[in-house]
Amino acid sequence: MTGEKNKNHRQRKIAYVLCCSLLVGAAVVCLKKWVFPPAG
């Protein structure tokens, strides 16, 4: 029971970290486009 719960918790933590990195990556891309607009 405990092992199963730990496994589930770790998967949720990995999903959370992935979501965070995706959000940060999107924010960085948006910032770059806003600060350095493409020429033309």
DSSP 8-37: HHHHHHHHHHHHHHHHHHHHHHHHHHHHSP
The pTM of this model reads 0.60
Phi, psi of 37 (to 5 degrees): -65, 140
List pLDDT tens digits, range 1-40. Answer: 677 888 889 999 999 999 999 999 999 999 998 888 776 5
Query: Which sequence spans correspond to the domains of the chain?
Result: 1-35
pLDDT given for residue 24 in this prediction: 98
pLDDT given for residue 20 in this prediction: 98
The rounded distance, in Å, linking the Cα atoms of 12 and 27 is 23
